[in-house]
Every structure is written in C-alpha cells, then in structure tokens.
C-alpha cells in the first residue's frame, strides 16, 4: 500500500505553531512593555515585511475579495485584543485555556460557513487534546462572568478568522490575506498607543523586532495551511503550542513540570498524533477510491 506523506498543509501548521511559540518567548521577556504596544509592533513589522513580499511577488495589494479580507482583519484584530485583555485581567492559566477553545469553534463554524463535516473520531481527538490543555493550564473558578464572556468571544473571533482565511483560498494569495490583518490592527491599536506610549530600551527594541518577524512567518504559514486543508484536519495542531510553551519554559526559564503537566502533554500529543494519522489514512482511502 502506498504510504501518504504528511501533507503540505500539516507541515505549514507545524511551522506556524513553532514560530508562534517563539513569539511567546519574546513576549515573556517584555514584561515591562504593555500588551497593546507589543500587539502594535508585531502588526506593524508584519505590515512592512508582507508589503515588501507582495511587491516583490507582483501581486495586487488591494486583493480580490475586499469584504472578506476586511472581515478576516477585523475578526483577527478583535480576537487578539480581547485575548490580550484576558491576559491582563484574569489568571494566565485561565486566559490561555479559554483561548484554546478556538480550534473547536473553528470546526463548528466551518460546519455551517464552509459546509465542512467533522467525523466523530476527530471530535474525540479534539476533546482529548483539550483535556490535556486543562491538565497543563488548569482553570480558575474565580474568573468573573464578564471576563469569561470576553475570553470566549476572543476564541470565537479566532474561529471566524481562520474560516475567513479558508474561504479566501480561491480568490486571494496568502500574502494578501496576511496583509489585511495588520492593515486593520495598526490604525486601531495605534490610536490608543499615541496616548499610552512606553519607551522600549535598546534590548527591548530588538526583541520587539524579533517578535514581529516570528509573527510574520507564523501568520504566512498558518494562512497557507488553512487555505490548503480543511479546518478539522489541522486545527488540532494548534494545541502543540502548549507543548512548545512547556518545553521552552523548562529549558529557557527554568520552569518546573508537574506530573499533571506531563500527563497533559501526553494527552495533547496523543490527540495530535491521532488526528495526523486519521488525516493520512483518509487521504490514502481517497487516493485508492480515485
């Protein structure tokens, strides 16, 4: 039997999750810089880099499906701003755990927006990975209802943003799709930043630059992944971000790993591995049928 290799879409999402994890390391080093300022600079650097790449590729910068491109930018910006709000106003573990509902919302939204079906086994694998996140991150029952609603809204907006990316696959190049995210983010956050500026040190400027570059790579590869693969086939890989965070925290920041965290990592890896195997098996079946 012919063995199907990992698809380009899966490879792209693996690269994206790794560079998002690198971005998170940079954010951890910038505890003096407000979250909104980090959001602005990561978006601003992405705006410049992607603009240059678009010009170099000879693409039309305005795009073809402007309404959907703007909706992708708005939902992505809304998700980011609400997520950073939760990071500043609720326990870190709770904020991160709620945000990891986004892969589940992504496939729910894909069901009615893109008519993409999800098998029962895929739902079980998603729940397995999310159970691992709960073991690693935990959840604080003291979170207020308002903060909980904002956190869930951030995850829902992320789900819509990923589906808008998928919907744009037949009309716009991934670079153009990525470009519209900072086009919306920079002016919105920039207006607030004008009156709440904190001057970075030379070292912090370098870290901000690296965060922007890592985000740019992550956004480009994430967009390519969602344009190539069904949401249910790749959303589960986002949970690898938790594994990366624990590995980097242990190796770089000297953070300890509890037994629960190790069990959580194993559950996440099992869910992702199962999802990968299911996707490969389905492609093999489809090739045999064709």
pLDDT at 173 (0 to 100): 92
* DSSP category for residue 3: P
Q: Which residue has the tokens 């509890």?
A: 258
280: confidence class by pLDDT, cuts 50, 70, 90: low
pLDDT grade, residue 285 (50/70/90)?
low
2 occurs within a structural domain: no
Q: What is the dihedral of CA 166, 13, 157, 131, to 10 degrees?
A: 130
Lowest mean pLDDT among 23-32, 248-257, 276-285: 276-285
- 27-30: long-range contacts at Cβ-Cβ below 8 A with a sequence spacing of 24 or more? 27/211, 28/253, 29/207, 30/200, 30/204, 30/207, 30/208, 30/211
In a domain, 171, yes or no: yes
Number of structural domains, the chain? 1
What Rg, from alpha-carbon coordinates, does the chain have? Answer: 19
Over the stretch 142-160, which tens digit does the pLDDT of each residue have? Answer: 678 888 889 889 989 999 9
Average pLDDT, the chain: 83
Q: 92 and 47 in contact (C-beta within 8 Å)?
A: no
Residue 265 to residues 136, 162, 251, Cα–Cα distance (Å): 7, 25, 16
Residue 142 lies in a domain: yes
Quick: pLDDT tens for 153-203.
998 999 999 999 989 988 899 999 999 999 999 999 999 898 888 999 999
| Predicted local distance difference test score (pLDDT) of residue 271 | 78
Segments forming the whole domain that contains residue 101: 8-289
Q: For residue 172, is it left (φ>0), alpha (ψ between -120 and 50) or beta?
A: beta
Write the pLDDT tens digit of every residue in 209-258: 999 999 999 999 999 998 888 877 787 788 787 778 777 777 776 767 67
Flag whether pLDDT at 287 surpasses 70: no
Decide if pLDDT at 48 tops 80: yes
- Is the per-residue pLDDT at 288 higher than 70? no
Residue 212 resides in a domain: yes
Domain contains 1 = no
Q: Looking at the domain assignment, is residue 274 inside a domain?
A: yes
Planar angle of CA 10, 107, 61, nearest 5 degrees: 65
DSSP code at position 169: G
User: pLDDT band for position 2 (50/70/90)?
Assistant: very low
Is 133 part of any domain?
yes
Q: Is residue 3 part of a domain?
A: no
Closest alpha carbon to 189 in 74, 279, 267, 102 = 74
Closest among 62, 66, 189, 162 to 106, alpha carbons compared: 162
277: confidence class by pLDDT, cuts 50, 70, 90 = low
The pLDDT assigned to 3 comes to 42
The closest alpha carbon to 245, from 16, 22, 88, belongs to 22
pLDDT digits (tens, 9 = 90+) for 97-128: 788 788 888 888 888 887 777 777 777 877 88
Q: What is the mean pLDDT of residues 54-72?
A: 91
CB 107 within 8 A of CB 226: no
């Amino acid at each position: 039997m012919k063995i199907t290799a990992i698809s380009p879409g899966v490879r792209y999402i693996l690269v994206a999750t790794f560079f998002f994890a690198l971005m998170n390391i940079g954010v951890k080093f910038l505890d003096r810089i407000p979250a909104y300022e980090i959001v602005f600079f990561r978006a601003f650097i992405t705006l410049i880099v992607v603009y240059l790449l678009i010009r170099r590729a000879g693409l039309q910068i305005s795009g073809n499906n402007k309404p959907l491109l703007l909706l992708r930018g708005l939902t992505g910006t809304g998700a980011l701003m609400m997520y950073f709000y939760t990071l500043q106003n609720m326990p870190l573990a709770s904020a991160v755990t709620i945000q990891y509902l986004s892969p589940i919302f992504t496939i729910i939204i894909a069901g009615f927006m893109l008519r993409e079906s999800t098998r029962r086994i895929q739902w079980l694998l998603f729940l397995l990975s999310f159970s691992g996140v709960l073991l690693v991150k935990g959840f604080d029952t003291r979170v207020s209802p308002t903060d909980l609603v904002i956190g869930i809204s951030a995850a829902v907006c992320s789900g819509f943003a990923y589906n808008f990316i998928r919907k744009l696959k037949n009309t716009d190049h991934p670079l153009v799709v990525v470009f519209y995210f900072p086009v919306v983010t920079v002016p919105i956050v920039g207006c607030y930043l004008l009156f709440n500026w904190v001057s970075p040190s030379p070292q912090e400027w370098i870290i901000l630059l690296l965060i922007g570059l890592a985000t740019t790579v992550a956004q480009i590869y994430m967009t390519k992944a969602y344009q190539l693969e069904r949401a249910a086939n790749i959303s589960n890989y986002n949970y690898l971000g938790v594994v990366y965070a624990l590995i980097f925290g242990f190796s770089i920041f000297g953070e300890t790993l509890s037994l629960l965290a190790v069990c959580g990592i194993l559950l996440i890896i099992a869910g992702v591995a199962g999802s990968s195997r299911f996707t490969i098996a389905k492609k093999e079946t489809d090739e045999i049928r064709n």
